Structure 1
């Protein structure tokens, strides 16, 4: 059984850049392990800054979502060994119908779900899901749930992550990006939507040595709105968009990281610095239980739990003091969680194991050698 496979990864960009960010990290890790990837996305514009290297990578093609419904395009493509639906998106019906009509056996079909620490996740992870209707009726998908425990799908983690972190010059980064930062001042990164406690945080920063680094887009707009009602402003600067490795380095360099969504939460955990997570809100407040489950898994100190609840509008009260003792407790909690996670198998390794297992139906398709000998099949040009 060949270990090199062709993966079709489908991504719809629903909010901000997290969906595409996760799918790109998944894609580049698969590529680094000798896999071939077609990334289908409805809005790939953020890759221009998130992954400027994407266009030059061999064995990768980034394709417009709409092309998966075009018969003339589908006819040119080599059959993939794996289909991945990221974050519950549904594959275009024309794409599925073409696959059913042109191949004798289904590919490994993975539904890559959202990240959660809730207790039902291990029960659902790796469960088969029969397709009950449509052109693929009778085929089977398999749920894949990322998670924080060994009985889930794990987290995205590059094999060289620890090596990169150990070789990172934190002092040089801080000197380059915040040259006037006092030795005892806090360097804080901000990636958020419109957190309820943002005005309280900004007000507290006015009275302490700090520098706040604000990422572009909604975080910058939220800060500007909050500052409009303040007579005295904290010390802050607006950052440009950066690629994923640059984002990681910012998290490594800062003393406190205020992050948003799933991808940046995982990167904050790997950074091992104090952090607060702005979780994606849901209309029925299901995100409240999701956040509490994560804080419980992390065994977060009470002050960190309260900061999360205030930041996410789940409680009212006074923003906790960002004292040296509190930040040390928060960082220790993150570092303990990081050490636990480093002992677990990473997401890509587990995903590949499932795809390779006898339980995951797939069609061997053409060999890697054939893929490489017929680049037009992988790298078709679209009108």
Structure 2
């Protein structure tokens, strides 16, 4: 189904993405590029320095091609030295990746300098709205960079989402979910069974959680895409491999290895599960839009700086829950992120199980609350157009 297009100018955009690790940066940049083209009718050129990593989240990408067009996006290799090109009208620097000096100089030579936007990482922290949209003049060149913060309130840059996402999700659950699960090798779910996706960084809480799942009353089927958590899972099953297609069982727990998948297929995995363990930014946002309960693992930072981000989102997420269910969600999130004073993972899981119905109802309603923040791509277009006039 085509997305509805937002009226306005058809502006030319350059998005720069430096792939650092874990596919998060390219995941956000690619999703934004697609939404700007399909949802907002913009022309987008996406510069990426690691096409092999890009290929992991979107297999149609040819890692050897210097230029290619996919989903209407002009994809270019970001090489050093940088190619001589005419800068776009809007330039997006994803996550402070530092634009090439030659490109910056070309921006400064334009009679009308481009709108230069630094797309920041998502956070639910209260300071985000105060810093969103602030200008920063370049120290040498006649250019101004604007800091654009995605966020959860109307005073921020909003959240990445396609206008038709809820329609596609509901159609999948109605028409395709059973076939999707069968293609993964899953038998029809037993009464009370949990289907849980697990996409995570290495985690000290994992052994206790596996023990709770294996020794519990409810059957748990855990679906694990390739990633950093797999070696730890393999150790938890006596060293048995967990490559795509492999299955390991212990007590009431079955763990299935899945291939690393593209963004659209990952959405379908989130929709098909009863609970999703997610990591970083992009999968966290998609899990929230999935209308399914989630446990978020924030990207670990020095001196536990990520705990502040965790607590900010947690406070917002549980605000509408009853106190007992809110404590269950908070306990599980904190245990999974190693917050001092958090309950043991097994105890946190028991509390979550007891509140399953209330937590599921809350997750189903949550996307309606998220929508108040607005759509990231549309807010970026509005921000840029107001400065191009």
Question: TM class by shorter-chain length?
Answer: 0.7 to 0.9
Change (3 A) 1:245 1:65: same
How far apart, in 2, do the equivalents of 1:95 and 1:328 lie?
Answer: 54
Please state how far the C-alpha of 1:5 moved relative to its aligned partner.
1.3
Q: 1:56 to 1:100 in 2, by over 3 A?
A: closer
Residues 132 and 290 (structure 1), Cα distance of their counterparts in 2 relative to 1, 3 Å cut? same
1:166-186 Cα offsets, whole Å, 9 max, x none, are: 111333323332422424311
Do structure 1's residue 148 and structure 2's residue 152 form an aligned pair?
Answer: yes
Q: Does 1:57 align with 2:63?
A: no
> Which stretches in structure 1 are left out of the alignment for 5+ residues?
363-383
Q: Which residue of 1 aligns with 2:3?
A: none
RMSD: 2.2
Name the SS for the 1:104 alignment partner: coil
**Any idea what the Cα deviations from partners look like across 1:15-41, whole Å, max 9, x if unmatched?**
211110000000111121322211111
- 1:261, distance to aligned residue in structure 2 (A): 0.4
Q: What is the aligned partner in structure 2 of residue 162 from structure 1? A: 166
Give the 3-state SS of the residue equivalent to 2:197 in structure 1.
strand
How has the CA–CA distance of structure 1 residues 58 and 290 changed in structure 2, closer, same or farther, with 3 Å as cutoff?
closer
Q: Structure 2: how far apart are the matches of 1:57 and 1:138?
A: 34
- Kindly state the Cα deviation for residue 58 of structure 1 after the two structures are TM-superposed: 6.5
1:337 paired residue number: 366
Given that 1:187 and 1:213 are in contact with CA atoms closer than 8 Å, whether structure 2 keeps it comes out as yes
User: Does the CA-based 8 Å contact 2:156-2:373 persist in structure 1?
Assistant: no
1:66 aligns with 2:79: yes
Q: Which whole-Å deviations, capped at 9, do the CAs of 1:211-238 have from their partners, x for residues lacking one?
A: 1111102122231133338994731111
Aligned to 1:317: 343
In structure 1, C-alpha distance between the alignment counterparts of 2:299 and 2:137, rounded to whole Å: 29
The answer as to whether partners of 2:34 and 2:71 remain within 8 angstroms in 1 is no
Normalising by structure 2, what TM-score?
0.84
Gaps of 5+ in 2: 1-6, 62-67, 241-248, 320-325
Aligned pair partner of 1:25 in 15, 20, 31? 31
Q: Distance in 2 between matches of 1:226 and 1:87?
A: 35
Aligned equivalents of 1:183 and 1:41: distance in 2? 46
8 A Cα contact 1:41 1:63, kept in partner: yes
Describe the superposition over 1:262-287 as per-residue Cα deviations: whole angstroms up to 9, x where unpaired.
00000000001111001001103211
Deviation at 1:47, TM superposition (A): 2.9
Aligned equivalent of 1:79 = 87
The answer to whether structure 1 residue 306 and structure 2 residue 313 are counterparts is no
Distance 2:191 2:361 in 1: 21
TM-score (normalised: structure 1): 0.86
Q: Which residue of 2 aligns with 1:14?
A: 20
Aligned to 2:232: 222
Q: Give me the whole-angstrom Cα distance separating, in 2, the residues matched to 1:254 and 1:333.
A: 16
Determine the structure 1 residue equivalent to 2:385. 356
Are the equivalent residues in 2 in contact too, given 1:275–1:331 (CA < 8 A)?
no
How far off is 1:150 after superposition?
A: 1.2
The equivalent of 1:380 in structure 2 is none
Q: Which residue of 2 aligns with 1:100?
A: 108
SS, match of residue 52 in structure 2: coil
